[in-house]
Amino acid sequence: MEDVVRDVDALRAKYKNDPEVRIGIAPHSVRAVPKEWIAALGAHAAQHGLPFHMHVAEQPREIEECVAETGRRPVELLADAGVLSARFVAVHATHLAPHEAALLGQARAFACVCATTEADLGDGLPDLGALRRAGARLCTGIDSHVVNDPLAELRALETLERLRTGKRTTFEPAEGTPAEALWRAGSIDGAYACGFDDAGGTLRIRRDHPTLELVDDAFLLDAIVFSGTAALIEP
């Protein structure tokens, strides 16, 4: 573990003046890292304000083995280790018990849904409604390169929940439209999850793409989020 901390601190020193780089700590999972290491690495991340990412409850077997080894479910174990915070990102979070979603929400932690990866691996459908109601923040990512399409990952935060619940619409955001809320999850909240203060930069959309050609400006964001692909994004 000392080697990990030394490497993290070396990278922090190397990139401390680079506004485009953030260094964080990402122990793989409770099945790969001892609890004592998780607690110590979490304390180091907290001391220096670093993002802290871990795979959490991706597959049922992970949960079964965690309970067999420790008597605790993954999020319970992480809570015991003191690592849940607004800097914590639970990658996947596919098979949470309701109280685990509540623990993430109480900490204002993130759940990073990797929809195309989870579909490819047959991991299952996360209860995104429970996470939203608990106050956990959602963002998106990939844990493979089977599909590289940020818009597909983005709309899955709504469409996966439609599949799971059998409902045509699954959430009404506190502010704005569903498309605006999803766009925020994929941009501003995603940036926060990686340790940035905002999602600075410009994304250029091909307004002349056939997918958008007949779309009125008033519905442009809805079309981009719910029917767009990476082909809409200019290089």
Catalytic site residues? 92, 143
| Angle subtended at Cα 228 by Cα 223 and Cα 232, rounded to the nearest 5 degrees | 115
Beta-bridge partners for 56: 92
**Which pair of tokens denotes residue 41?**
């690495």
Alpha-carbon dihedral sign for residues 147, 151, 157, 158: negative
Rounded CA gap, 133 and 106, in Å? 11
Residue with tokens 């607690």: 39
Judge whether 222 and 211 are in contact, CB under 8 Å. no
